[in-house]
Amino acid sequence: MSTTISLETMGESLSRLRERRPLVHNITNFVVMNFTANALLALGASPAMVHAPEEVQAFVAISGALVVNIGTLDSAWVMSMSLAARQAVATGIPWTLDPVGAGATAFRTRATLDLLGLAPNVLRANASEILAIAGTSGHMPKGVDATISSTHALEAARHLARANRTIVAVTGAVDYVIGADGGVALEGGSPMSQLVTGTGCAATACVGAFLAVEKDALLAAASALAVFKAAAAMAEPSGAAGPGSFQSALLDALHRVSPADLAEHVALRRL
């Protein structure tokens, strides 16, 4: 695994992201498009949502990273996702997959496995989805929420990382970012994140933004999740009023979170 991974190198990635302001091409779900675009803008990236088969390949070519999220998939959108992912791989643009609700239906699991076959640089999911993809789930997924702890998906994540030669990020109370030969655990954040739709999806988009400025995919994914956890912790006092206030405060925090905040709000553990 990366020998340079630390909260300090993550902070350097964050500074680099804000200097370069990478264009992040998202093919994502209808529910979270607005929040995702606002999260990327707040973080310091430049978001675009583009899905037409006539232009996804051309748009990948001008982007720093591609993010694919299947939340409100249908067959036409899956085709666009596939076109875009193939183009990304062919031209060396890093891409990230968020398999929302994998395991909930056969159609969704099939789409996930097909996209996973296109070699994403990072797979970001919750524990239910990781178990479903690894085929080791004894749990019936409940919609698109994680109802089991990320720790229970750690072995499945290791398996997927090796089998697919990708970085696997499982998020929850503890976030795990796993590569072929090691990984990290991140602690911090806020339980309020569970009460706002799209926080996981926005975190995936932030992984994309970091991949545009950091070639080490494990460091990029860990940086994005650490920044997201720090921002959630900083937003938490607003969560006392409820999830509506927390949502606004999370965007505010993504804008002001600094490299120094990572050390203050996130604990990093090597695995």
The footprint of a copy of itself on residues 52-81 (CB under 8 A) is 52-55, 58-59, 62-63, 71-75
Q: Is the CB of 40 or the CB of 222 nearer to a copy of itself?
A: 40
- CA-CA-CA-CA torsion sign (146, 201, 156, 82): positive
The footprint of a copy of itself on residues 82-101 (CB under 8 A) is 101
Q: What b/e sequence results for 203-221 when a residue is b if at least 16 CB atoms lie within 10 Å of its CB, and e otherwise?
A: bbbbbbbbbbbbebbbbbb
Q: How far apart are CA 88 and CA 57, in angstroms?
A: 8
Q: Is the CB of 35 or the CB of 95 nearer to a copy of itself?
A: 35
Q: How far apart are CA 210 and CA 18, in angstroms?
A: 10
Q: Is the CB of 1 or the CB of 205 nearer to a copy of itself?
A: 205
Q: Is the CB of 44 or the CB of 179 nearer to a copy of itself?
A: 44
Residue pair 193/199 in contact (Cβ under 8 Å)? The answer is yes
Q: Which residues pair with 48 in a beta bridge?
A: 25
Minimal distance, residue 19 CB to a copy of itself, in Å:
14
Note whether 265 binds a copy of itself by CB under 8 A: no
**Edge-first strand listing for the sheet containing 65-69:** 46-49, 23-27, 65-69, 95-98, 122-126, 167-171, 174-179, 182-187, 267-270
The footprint of a copy of itself on residues 140-159 (CB under 8 A) is 140, 142-145
Number of residues binding to a copy of itself, judged by CB under 8 A: 62
Helix intervals (H) in 178-242: 199-211, 217-239
Note whether 35 binds a copy of itself by CB under 8 A: yes
Q: How far apart are CA 171 and CA 146, in angstroms?
A: 9
Report which residue type is found at 117. G
Of 11-19, 33-41, 121-129, 207-215, the segment contacting a copy of itself by CB under 8 A is: 33-41
Per-residue binder mask for a copy of itself (CB under 8 A), 163-202, x = binder = -------------------------------xxxxx----
Query: What is the binding site for a copy of itself (CB under 8 A)?
Result: 23, 29-35, 37-38, 41-42, 46-55, 58-59, 62-63, 71-75, 101, 104-108, 140, 142-145, 194-198, 241-245, 247-256
